[in-house]
């Protein structure tokens, strides 16, 4: 078998095992979180005796491992159980995951070229004004919380210039893609925040490459700067950059709570936080499995990318 | 009527546009919502769920001010012993699918809502013996009760008890059916609901052709939806936003009025030291700086409270607030030997302002010699019975619900209720009284005990604010002002 | 005619030291000039100065560098590098972009002119190398690819800093022939080398540097053929290292097969072979850096694990290696002192005194104050000597030197070899010397010739280099493949 | 520019360390009306409870350093350690690194909740942030180290029997330090907000640090922007100045690390 393919298969299988581990840890962990679905929901409007009765009725008092086995069994059959409001969890997740993925994919598609561009630009002019400006701007941007960045974008582009909608309302059942304008500001907010991290790390990698003898060789032989950047610097930062993009993307999917809230964009981040807050454990557990599974898959891809993009590692695998 | 000094732009208008809305048009309203929404009236717990349920489903009785008025029921007859009541139902009511409304629907609904299978089982469950409820004919239902209930109409109006169709189990977008003035056209949890007018509503046709309910979890975003023209009305707006004011001449900030304020309180735990001692409870009430709290936490949108919940409800005792007296409080603490006692004040941002008020309360308790410690927790664990039982104070708020509901709720929780024989006896009497004068006396006694040695420090009555386009008219309050009734609302 | 390059009283310094001191030179268009001088005399510094490029730590103290009428210092005039000047540095491995295949490197360098196969053929490399990455090439192959890249730009003046150090005699001849063609087409050369033969072959003017000063500017000296060193005796002590049936793989490609070798204490064993024959791989296999392959490696009586990580300290200490590329073998941020003291402290578990460091530096003829330098502050030859000193530090039984003297001028080389001879005689150290230098090869006790990954010939030096035969001719004869099949060896098997 | 960086960083650090002593007002008790604009005696105005923003800003730096900086350093440190080890040792890559993958697969908010439930204290908060950031730092570190671990000097070190400690800290680390520092700088800022988010979820183990100030000021930002901008800018200032210094020092004194 092709050794590259074998590597992928092995890693994927391993990730499957890790996913099982993840589900156990998370199921049990989430179960141990303070508060339980019934108290969180019914709050003080219901007497403790009645709460106990309902808990008992719902089988929440059975040993956690029993419940885990049932849940995992359902999972194997594609059944993620029911949310607190009795909707099938799969249904609750499906539209939101799509929305979040859309946002994340768009943001990463923009992030990748832009981060490399600014990272290499800053590295090229290291120690000079361009570098200072890019680096300081990047750090200031991350230091401002997301909602401030998002809010500023709204003030400028929606309230001020009126170019874009302030809120990303999409009618029920319609994909945000049908109204691309609503995606612009959320994507931009995510991008600005994610960009900072990527630019800084890529800059550091690029600086190391620019000091290397191969770049000296290219420079002294009159290779145009753009060629040097594209042929020598960019390939050298890519293996690291891919990791950074991956990290950012995972943040965009599960961690974009505030951006989603500011724009009223129905995504997974908000789902996760509200489910945690309302003790809607089936949703939390399902989300962790789906997000975790997606992340593990993405990690395999990132590992693969790191191998493919590092010639020494690639040739060690492919011969 | 508001205390404090609201900013020029932030003076709210009571009630809002009183004109009768014209027929037609679409009303777009924003409320708090999220992925947990549901069309099942006993499965969703977000604000937008309550607002939607109010117009899609009807109740047996509804509150108008402090009175319960007939809705799907036309009358209720209470048995002498107050251990059962008979409901007379309205004729000529039709479901959204055209079928007629019957007594069997009510029996089914009562059982459905009280079943522990519901994510939000009705709070009527401790009162009604729904298993034994029966339809004696097509328009009559007899319901036995578990404890004597003297005024079931109040309970049936105040506790959400939406009537669903007999046998209804599936509440997905195409299937959810009610008798209310609007039917569901499309629905997506956490995004929006499109409601269209149901022309066959028994109470006459609603004004707006269509209501678009938008769900947003962040209140500031909700307000922005209105200011940016993407919505006409946003309910339950934070005080800071109101204070900032709204731009543009066609928007206004409204308050639901004095009668619909929400009481903010610290409920003291009488099962633990030091608040098991009435003197220490009184000291805490003397220590609290009501006006400062109103000015800071409510930014002046409200008034100091008199430590009694239920302002605006029937039989409410409108006593004057206890004036602040730090020296007297210190003396009481000393008498009770509670100097330096550690008191944990449990709070979560369940409602905006809980944490802020608790932090200020802690500072004020420190002044009278208590070692107050704020315990801020997450929403998911806020109401854990065991943790509540350990805390010395819990931050809490209740609107102008009937007193039976308010004290019933508090009493259900040992650490929130007042363990006092006189109080308990008076409360039982008030609940079971079929005669209004007896009831009034009993409630007066309940509140007298509360005022003397009670455990609720209701420091303020908060305005319920909303932002609306000036043309939005006919928005009513039925039970809680935070979840207004839009069945008669529209654009003027 | 206006000179292409003019240096006016150029002075460069680092610290309080002058690296170049009042250098004034003119080079005409199309002119070829050799630069010679002892290691550390400033040749590389001068070559880089032509580009207006100063290595970190080097300062411009005075004087001008004019290329094609443009001032190159303090800031490089744009458009000169590449168009007017082309460059190949002393460290060919590092010059190649590790993320690009050979083909892509050459295409980038050629900027659309010249096809990759022709460029490779020009430096004597097969076209199928184009698909490889630099790390998949042998030292000599890397050097030739880098040379091809420098040639591909077709500048008016090519500055080549020791471009044949890693090449065997045959490959050197091919490269010289190509350079002669390039020169004939009007390109000038600045040829930095320790090999007076190549200097004489390619240039008609030589600058000799000493301590940063031009001490001679004139015709190349037709130096007498070097006095061949002391011929090996062929005597041998006990067997210290035996290798049986050794093979090595890179992925699916077998680059070494069936190699048998015996090293005796005190012996000088020279490994000869054309560039890419597998010499470095052999050394890496023996030292355990390249464990992929079969066969046995014995140290005295003990069988060594193929992977160095599985060998114990004593076993590691017994085998010393000087890698082919000294630039890469020294940590850029570690001082010479660190490099020289670590082997003893890890392998011998003793602390190294300042005197030890000085003694080691003295062994390789470097001044004691170099202990505080970083590799970047050393010349190519100095780095190589530090690497050698480091390998000697732990007192190995067998020292494997992969082109350990290639960057040294003749006298430095002779001194270093004399030191090695002394250690061999005194302590019984066995030296396995991988070399392309015929004059070194003839001093061997035993010679092994590799051909396409197999041992083609083995025998005593006396036997393989008979009589008064010119060493270069003799080595060339040994390296010449017997049949065309041989050139391909096992590499493609 | 580097001088400016040093001065800036010095000033910020002095402010952070001495801040609590310099605070003119109580940090918990109100000193005026809520959302009061800046004025005499209250240079940055008051917050939503009428507390002095300046005092809270001055007092909030130390806990920030104690929690976020510690967490970021520990997180990047642990991550870098695992990442570099994974690049050097195959078995670490096959075991420890895979475990970090599992950690990376748990959404940060949840991880935060789980850890704080088990360990409801500042230590728990630090641990949570470490667990959130380590897997990500590890990836960056491993990918960077993969680019340099084949170099001759690393092989030379292996040949002479250097232990993993030397290989890691002396051979590889100095070459990848620049990237790791960049990672650290950003991890710091991110951990500030992760800690703040913990406060947001009601699970704060700390008093009030700058992150929490930002979060608290959010609802009233239109009334009193300074309550939000001041801590946010303070965080930015700390991050920017530390980075300027790190870049400068890193470029110059690489040898210090080796
Ligand atoms: N940054 C520096 N700091 C101090 N000394 C330096 C620095 N760079 C080079 N040198 C010294 O300058 C001298 C000239 O170096 P250069 O590389 O030009 O020598 P070279 O003639 O090319 O020698 P070789 O033949 O060994 O390559 C050497 O002695 C070297 O140690
Ligand atoms: N990683 C690799 N993958 C595939 N082939 C390789 C790799 N490294 C080296 N080779 C090939 O193995 C052969 C032997 O290489 P080696 O470095 O041992 O040659 P050498 O005899 O030392 O040559 P030189 O004198 O040029 O240094 C060469 O043909 C080379 O191209
Ligand atoms: Mg040199
Ligand atoms: Mg070699
Ligand atoms: Ni430029």
Residue C370, domain member (yes or no): yes
Best of D105, D194, D221 to mutate (most A CBs within 10 Å, chain A): D105
Q: Do both A20 and A50 map to the same domain?
A: yes
Residue C278 Cβ < 6 Å to ligand 1 = no
Q: Which of B303, B237, B260, B227 is nearest to B476 (CA)?
A: B260
For D209, list phi and psi in degrees, rounded to 5: -110, 180
Cβ atoms < 10 Å from Cβ of C117:
16
User: The pTM is what?
Assistant: 0.89
Q: Contact C94/A311, CB-based, under 8 Å?
A: no
Q: Which ligand is nearest to the CA of C289?
A: 2
- CB atoms near residue C49 (< 10 Å): 23
Per-residue pLDDT tens over the stretch B273-303 = 899 999 999 999 999 999 999 999 998 899 9
* Number of domains forming the structure of chain D: 1
- Angstroms from A270 CA to nearest CA on chain B: 8
- Are residues C154 and C247 part of one domain? no
State whether C431 and C314 are in the same domain: yes
Whether C265 is in a domain gets the answer yes
Q: Are residues A71 and A115 in the same domain?
A: no
Starting from the edge strand earliest in sequence, which strands make up the sheet with C253-264, in order?
C253-264, C239-250, C296-299, C302-303
Answer whether residue C372 is part of any domain.
yes
Residues A217 and A117 in one domain: yes
Q: Which atom of ligand 2 is nearest to the CA of C248?
A: 12
Question: Residue C43 CA: which ligand 1 atom is closest?
Answer: 21
On whether both A180 and A272 belong to a single domain, the answer is yes
Ligand 2 surroundings by CB, under 6 angstroms: C 135-141, 166, 250, 253, 255, 273, 275-281, 324, 491
Q: Which of C163, C216, C165, C160 is CA-nearest to residue C189?
A: C160
C492 in a domain, yes or no? Answer: no
State in Å, rounded, how far the first CA of chain B is from the last one: 27
Q: How far apart, in whole angstroms, are the C-alpha atoms of residue B306 and residue B461?
A: 9
Whether B419 shows a pLDDT value over 60: the answer reads yes
Assess if residue D24 is contained within a domain: no
Q: Are B216 and B33 in contact (CB under 8 A)?
A: yes
Rounded to the nearest integer, the mean pLDDT of chain B is 88
The mean-pLDDT minimum among A122-136, A164-178, B326-340 falls in A164-178
In this structure, the answer to whether residues C362 and C275 fall within a common structural domain is yes
- Same domain as A141, residue A63: no
Whether A228 contacts B188, CB under 8 Å:
no
Residue C490 in domain: no
Chain centroid offset of residue C420 CA: 18
Q: Are C18 and C124 in a shared domain?
A: yes
Give the nearest partner residue to B243 out of D29, D203, D223, using CB atoms.
D223
Tens digits of residue pLDDT in B428-444: 999 888 888 999 999 99
Check pLDDT > 70 for residue B484: yes
Nearest Cβ partner for D186 among A145, A196, A246: A196
Structural domain contains residue C445: yes
pLDDT of the residue at D207: 62
pLDDT in tens, B225-243: 898 888 999 988 888 888 8
Which atom of ligand 2 is least distant from the CA of C450?
21
Number of domains in chain C: 2
The complex's ipTM works out to 0.88
CA of C405 to the centre of ligand 4 (A): 13
Return the CATH number at C78. Answer: 3.40.50.300
CATH number of the domain where residue A293 is located: 1.10.3720.10
Query: Which of A77, A110, A128 is the endpoint of a domain?
Result: A77
All residues of chain A having their beta carbon less than 8 Å from the beta carbon of residue B173 are: 172
Q: Does the residue A125 lie in any domain?
A: yes
Task: Flag whether A296 is in a domain.
Answer: yes
Query: A 279-318 residues with CB below 8 A of C?
Result: 311-312, 315-316, 318
- Domain extent for C364: 239-479
Residue D71 belongs to a domain? yes
Is there a domain that residue D19 lies in? no
Cβ contact, residue pair C325, D171, below 8 Å:
no
Atom of ligand 2 nearest to the CA of C281: 18
In a domain, residue A88? The reply is no
Ligand 1 neighbourhood includes C38 CB (under 6 angstroms): no
Residues A137 and A234 in one domain: yes
CB contact under 8 A, A213 and C95: yes
Segment C351-410, tens digit of pLDDT: 878 888 999 999 888 999 999 999 989 999 999 999 999 999 988 999 999 988 888 888
Distance between CA atoms of D258 and D242, rounded to whole angstroms?
21
Taking CB atoms and an 8 Å limit, are B116 and A87 in contact across chains? no
pLDDT at C397: 92
In a domain, A23, yes or no: yes
Report CA-CA distances (Å) from A176 to A100, A159, A172: 10, 21, 10
- Tell me which chain A residues have a C-beta less than 8 angstroms from the C-beta of C87: 217, 220-221
Assigned domain for C412 exists: yes
Is D203 within 8 Å of chain B by CB?
yes
Q: Determine the Cα–Cα distance for residues D34 and D28; give it in Å rounded to an integer.
A: 13
pLDDT at site C48: 92
Rounded to an integer, what distance in angstroms lies between the CA atom of residue D55 and that of residue D57?
5
Q: Which domain holds residue A49?
A: 12-77
Answer yes or no: do C361 and C213 share one domain: no
Instruction: For residues C180 and C290, state if they share a domain.
Output: no
Q: Which of the other chains make 3 or more beta carbon contacts under 8 angstroms with chain A?
A: B, C, D
Report how far ligand 1's centroid is from the alpha carbon of C351 (Å): 30
Choose among D105, D114, D243: nearest Cβ to A296: D105
Interval between CA C395 and ligand 2 midpoint (Å): 28
What is the atom index within ligand 1 of the atom nearest the CA of C194? 25
Evaluated on CA atoms D182, D185, D189, D194, the torsion sign reads positive
The stretches of B309-466 forming alpha helices (DSSP H) are: 326-336, 354-367, 379-382, 385-390, 403-412, 421-432, 436-453
Token pair belonging to C367: 């001044």
Answer whether C touches B (≥3 Cβ pairs < 8 Å): no
Which H or E element spans position B86?
strand B84-89
From the CA of C273, the nearest ligand is 2
Smallest Cα distance from D223 to chain B, Å: 6
- Strands (DSSP E) contained in C211-283 are 213-218, 239-250, 253-264, 268-273
Q: Averaged over B72-97, what is the pLDDT?
A: 91
A212 contacts in chain C (CB < 8 Å): 94
Note whether residue D235 is domain-resident. yes
Compare all CA atoms of chain A with the CA of D4 and give the residue at the minimum distance.
A132
Residue B15 has a pLDDT of 66
Ligand 1 atom 29, closest CA: C40
Q: Does residue A86 belong to any structural domain of this protein? A: no
Asked if residue B59 lies in contact with residue B72, where contact means CB atoms within 8 angstroms, the answer is: yes
Q: C470 by DSSP, 3-state: which?
A: coil
> Do A110 and A245 lie in a common domain?
yes
How many beta-carbon contacts under 8 Å exist across A and D? 170
SS3 D227: helix
Is residue C63 lining ligand 1, measured as CB closer than 6 Å? no
Q: Say which residue, B417 or D66, is predicted with more confidence.
A: B417
Ligand 1 atom index nearest CA of C41? 21
Q: How far away is chain B from the Cα of D140, in angstroms, using its nearest Cα?
A: 33
| pLDDT block averages, 10 residues each, chain C of length 493 | 85 90 90 91 92 90 89 84 89 90 93 86 92 93 93 90 88 91 91 87 90 87 59 72 93 90 91 91 94 92 92 91 88 91 85 87 90 91 92 91 86 87 88 89 88 88 74 78 47 36
What are the structure tokens assigned to B386, written together? 């065991």
B352 touches chain D (CB under 8 A): yes
Q: Cα(B118)–Cα(B113) distance, rounded to whole angstroms? A: 7
Identify which of A202, A229, A203 has the alpha carbon closest to the alpha carbon of residue A215.
Answer: A229
Q: Name residues 40-69 of chain D within 8 A of B (Cβ).
A: 48-50
Spell out which residues of chain D touch residue A244, defining contact as CB-CB under 8 Å: 140
Residue C56 belongs to a domain: yes
A36 part of a folded domain: yes
Q: Do chains D and A touch (3 or more CB pairs under 8 A)?
A: yes
pLDDT at B2: 34
Chain A 111-140, residues with CB within 8 Å of chain C CB atoms: none
CB contact under 8 A, C346 and D159: no
Low-confidence ranges of chain D (pLDDT < 50): 205, 254-258
* Residues 6+ away with beta carbon under 8 Å from C345: C351, C352
- CA-nearest residue of chain B to A157? B228
Tell whether A90 is covered by a domain: no
CA dihedral of residues D108, D114, D118, D123 (deg, nearest 10): 10
A144: nearest CA partner in chain D: D232
User: Could you tell me how many CB contacts below 8 A there are between chain C and chain D?
Assistant: 67
Q: Indicate the number of domains in chain A.
A: 2
C-beta separation of A219 from A228 below 8 A: yes
Q: Which residue, among C337, C361, C370, has the nearest Cα to C17 in the 3D structure?
A: C370
A66 and A103 housed in the same domain? no
D239 CA: distance to closest CA in chain C (Å): 27
Domain containing D148 equals 1-6+57-253
Q: How far is D129 from chain A (nearest CA, A)?
A: 14
In ligand 1, the atom with minimum distance to the C-alpha of C409 is 25
| pLDDT attached to residue B328 | 92
Mutating to test ligand 1, I would choose from C40, C92, C383 the residue with most ligand atoms within 8 A of its C-beta, which is C40
* Domain shared by A57 and A108, yes or no: no
CATH number of the domain to which D108 belongs: 1.10.3720.10
Instruction: Name which of D155, D161, D258 is nearest C313 (Cβ-Cβ).
Output: D161
Per DSSP (E only), the strands in C395-434 are: 398-402, 430-434
A98, A179, A266: best to mutate for the B interface, most B CBs within 10 A:
A266
* Same-domain check for residues C158 and C267: no
A3: in domain: no
């Amino acid at each position: 078998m092709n050794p590259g393919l074998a590597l992928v298969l092995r890693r994927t299988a391993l990730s499957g095992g890790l996913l099982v581990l993840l589900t156990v840890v998370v199921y049990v962990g989430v179960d141990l979180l303070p508060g339980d679905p019934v108290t969180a929901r019914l709050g003080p409007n219901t007497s403790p005796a009645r709460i106990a009765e309902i808990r008992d009725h719902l089988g929440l008092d059975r040993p956690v491992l029993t419940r885990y086995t049932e849940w995992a069994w359902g999972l194997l059959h594609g059944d993620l159980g029911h949310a607190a409001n009795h909707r099938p969890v799969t249904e609750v997740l499906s539209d939101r995951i799509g929305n979040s993925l859309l946002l994340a994919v768009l943001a990463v598609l923009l992030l990748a070229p832009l981060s490399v561009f600014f990272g290499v630009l800053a590295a090229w002019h290291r120690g000079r004004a361009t570098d200072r400006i890019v680096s300081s701007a990047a750090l200031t941007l991350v230091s401002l919380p997301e909602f401030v960045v998002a809010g500023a974008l709204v003030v400028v582009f929606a309230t001020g210039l009126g170019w874009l909608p302030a809120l990303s309302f999409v009618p029920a059942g319609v994909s945000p893609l049908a109204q691309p304008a609503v995606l612009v500001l959320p994507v931009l907010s995510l991008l600005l925040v994610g960009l900072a991290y990527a630019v800084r790390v890529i800059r550091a990698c690029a600086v190391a490459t620019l000091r290397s003898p191969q770049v000296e060789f290219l420079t002294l032989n009159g290779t145009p700067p753009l060629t040097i950047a594209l042929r020598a610097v960019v390939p050298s930062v890519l293996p690291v950059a891919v990791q950074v993009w991956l990290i950012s993307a995972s943040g965009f999917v599960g961690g974009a709570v505030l951006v989603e809230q500011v724009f009223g964009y129905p995504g997974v981040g908000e789902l996760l936080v509200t489910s945690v807050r309302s003790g809607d454990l089936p949703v939390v557990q399902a989300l962790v499995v789906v997000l975790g599974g997606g992340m593990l898959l993405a990690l395999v891809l990132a590992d693969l990318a790191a191998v493919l993009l590092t010639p020494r590692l690639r040739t060690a695998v492919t011969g | 009527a508001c205390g404090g000094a609201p900013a020029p732009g932030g003076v709210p208008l009571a009630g809002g546009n009183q004109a009768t809305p014209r027929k037609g048009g679409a009303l777009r309203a924003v409320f708090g919502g999220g992925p947990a929404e549901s069309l099942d009236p006993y499965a969703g717990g977000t604000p937008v769920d309550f607002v939607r349920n109010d117009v899609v489903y009807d109740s047996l009785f509804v509150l108008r001010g402090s009175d319960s008025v007939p809705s799907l029921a036309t009358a209720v007859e209470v048995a002498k012993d107050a251990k059962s009541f008979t409901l007379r139902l309205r004729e000529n009511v039709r479901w959204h699918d055209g079928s007629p409304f019957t007594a069997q629907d009510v029996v089914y609904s009562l059982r459905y809502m009280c079943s522990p299978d519901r994510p939000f089982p009705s709070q009527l469950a401790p009162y009604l013996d729904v298993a034994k409820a029966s339809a004696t004919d097509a328009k009559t239902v007899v319901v036995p009760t578990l404890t004597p209930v003297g005024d079931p109409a109040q309970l049936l109006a105040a506790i959400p008890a939406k009537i669903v169709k007999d046998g209804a189990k599936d509440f997905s977008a195409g299937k959810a059916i009610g008798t209310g003035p609007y039917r569901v056209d499309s629905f997506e949890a956490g995004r929006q609901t499109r409601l269209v007018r149901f022309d066959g509503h028994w109470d006459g046709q609603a004004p707006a052709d269509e209501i678009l309910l938008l769900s947003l979890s962040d209140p500031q975003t909700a307000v922005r939806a209105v200011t940016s023209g993407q919505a006409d009305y946003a309910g339950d707006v934070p005080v800071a936003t109101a204070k900032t004011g709204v731009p543009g001449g066609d928007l206004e900030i409204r308050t639901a009025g004095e009668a619909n304020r929400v009481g903010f309180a610290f409920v003291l735990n009488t099962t633990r030291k030091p608040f098991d001692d009435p003197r220490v409870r009184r000291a805490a009430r003397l220590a609290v700086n009501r006006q400062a709290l109103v000015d800071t936490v409510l930014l002046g949108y409200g008034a100091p409270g008199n430590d009694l919940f239920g302002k605006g409800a029937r039989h409410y005792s409108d006593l004057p607030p206890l004036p602040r007296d730090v020296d007297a409080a210190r003396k009481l603490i000393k008498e009770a030997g509670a100097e330096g006692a550690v008191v944990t004040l449990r709070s979560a941002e369940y409602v905006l302002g809980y944490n802020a008020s608790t932090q200020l309360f802690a500072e004020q308790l420190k002044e009278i010699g208590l070692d107050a410690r704020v315990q801020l927790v997450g929403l998911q664990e806020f109401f854990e019975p065991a943790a509540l039982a350990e805390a010395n104070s819990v931050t809490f708020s209740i609107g102008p619900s009937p007193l039976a509901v308010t004290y019933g709720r508090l009493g259900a929780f040992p650490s929130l209720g007042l363990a006092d024989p006189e109080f308990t006896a008076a409360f039982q009497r008030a609940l079971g009284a079929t005669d209004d004068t007896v009831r009034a006396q009993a409630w007066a006694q309940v509140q007298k005990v509360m005022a003397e040695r009670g455990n609720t420090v209701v420091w303020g009555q908060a305005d319920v604010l909303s932002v609306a386009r000036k043309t939005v008219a006919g928005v009513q309050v039925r039970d809680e002002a935070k979840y207004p009734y839009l069945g008669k609302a529209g654009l003027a | 005619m206006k000179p292409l390059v003019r240096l006016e009283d150029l002075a460069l310094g680092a610290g309080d030291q002058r690296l170049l001191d009042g250098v004034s030179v003119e080079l005409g268009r199309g002119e070829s000039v050799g630069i010679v001088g002892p290691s550390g005399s400033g040749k590389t510094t001068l070559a880089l100065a032509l580009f207006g490029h100063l290595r970190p730590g080097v300062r411009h103290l005075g004087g001008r560098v004019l290329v094609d009428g443009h001032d190159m210092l303090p800031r490089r005039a744009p458009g000169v590098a590449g168009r007017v000047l082309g460059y190949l540095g002393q460290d060919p491995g590092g010059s190649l972009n590790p993320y690009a295949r050979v083909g892509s490197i050459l295409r980038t360098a050629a900027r659309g002119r010249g096809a990759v196969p022709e460029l490779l053929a020009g430096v004597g490399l097969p076209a199928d190398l184009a698909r490889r990455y630099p790390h998949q090439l042998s030292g000599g192959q890397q050097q030739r690819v880098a040379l091809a890249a420098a040639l591909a730009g077709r500048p008016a003046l090519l500055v080549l800093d020791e471009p044949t150090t890693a090449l065997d005699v045959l490959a050197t001849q091919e490269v010289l022939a190509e350079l002669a063609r390039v020169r004939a087409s009007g390109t000038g050369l600045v040829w930095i080398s320790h090999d007076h033969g190549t200097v004489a072959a390619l240039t008609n003017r030589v600058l000799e540097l000493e301590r940063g000063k031009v001490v001679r500017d004139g015709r190349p000296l037709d130096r007498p053929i070097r006095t061949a060193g002391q011929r090996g005796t062929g005597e041998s002590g006990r067997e210290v290292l035996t290798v049986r049936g050794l093979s090595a793989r890179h992925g699916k490609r077998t680059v070494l097969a069936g190699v048998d070798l015996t090293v005796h204490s005190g012996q000088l064993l020279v490994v000869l072979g054309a560039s890419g024959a597998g010499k470095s791989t052999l050394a890496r296999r023996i030292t355990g850096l390249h464990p992929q392959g079969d066969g046995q490696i014995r140290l005295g009586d003990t069988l060594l694990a193929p992977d160095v990580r599985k060998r114990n300290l004593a076993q590691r200490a017994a085998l010393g290696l000087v890698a082919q590329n000294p630039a890469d073998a020294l940590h850029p941020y570690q001082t010479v002192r660190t490099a020289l003291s670590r082997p003893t402290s890890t392998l011998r578990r003793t602390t190294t005194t300042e005197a030890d460091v000085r003694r080691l530096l003295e062994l390789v003829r470097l001044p004691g104050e170099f202990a505080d330098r970083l590799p970047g502050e050393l010349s190519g030859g100095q780095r190589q000597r530090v690497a050698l000193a480091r390998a000697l530090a732990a007192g190995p039984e067998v020292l494997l030197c992969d082109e350990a003297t290639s960057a040294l001028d003749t006298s430095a080389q002779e001194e270093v070899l004399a030191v090695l001879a002394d250690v061999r005689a005194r302590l019984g150290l066995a030296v396995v010397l991988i070399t392309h230098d015929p004059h070194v090869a003839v001093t061997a006790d035993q010679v092994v010739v590799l051909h396409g990954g197999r041992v083609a010939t083995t025998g005593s030096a006396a036997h393989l280099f008979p009589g008064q035969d010119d060493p270069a001719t003799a080595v060339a004869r040994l390296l010449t493949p017997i049949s065309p099949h041989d050139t391909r060896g096992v590499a493609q098997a | 520019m580097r001088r400016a960086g040093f001065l800036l960083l010095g000033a910020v650090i002095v402010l952070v360390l001495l801040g609590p002593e310099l605070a003119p007002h109580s940090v918990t008790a109100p000193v005026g009306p809520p959302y009061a604009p800046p004025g005499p005696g209250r240079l940055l105005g008051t917050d939503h409870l009428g507390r002095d923003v300046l005092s809270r800003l001055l007092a909030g730096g130390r806990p920030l350093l104690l929690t976020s900086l510690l967490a970021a350093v520990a997180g990047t440190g642990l991550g870098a350690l695992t990442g570099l080890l994974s690049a050097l040792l195959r078995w670490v890559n096959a075991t420890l690194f895979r475990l970090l993958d599992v950690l990376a697969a748990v959404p940060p908010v949840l991880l935060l909740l789980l850890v704080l439930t088990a360990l409801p204290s500042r230590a728990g908060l630090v641990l949570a942030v470490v667990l959130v950031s380590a897997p990500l730092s590890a990836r960056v570190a491993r990918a960077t180290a993969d680019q340099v671990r084949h170099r001759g000097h690393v092989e030379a070190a292996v040949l002479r029997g250097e232990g993993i400690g030397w290989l890691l800290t002396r051979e590889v680390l100095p070459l990848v330090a620049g990237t790791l520092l960049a990672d650290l700088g950003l991890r710091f800022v991110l951990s500030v907000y992760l800690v703040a988010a913990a406060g947001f979820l009601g699970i704060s183990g700390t008093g009030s640090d700058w992150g929490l100030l930002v979060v608290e000021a959010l609802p009233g930002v239109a009334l009193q922007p300074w309550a939000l901008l001041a801590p946010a800018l303070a965080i930015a200032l700390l991050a920017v100045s530390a980075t300027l210094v790190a870049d400068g020092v890193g470029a110059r004194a690489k040898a210090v690390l080796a």
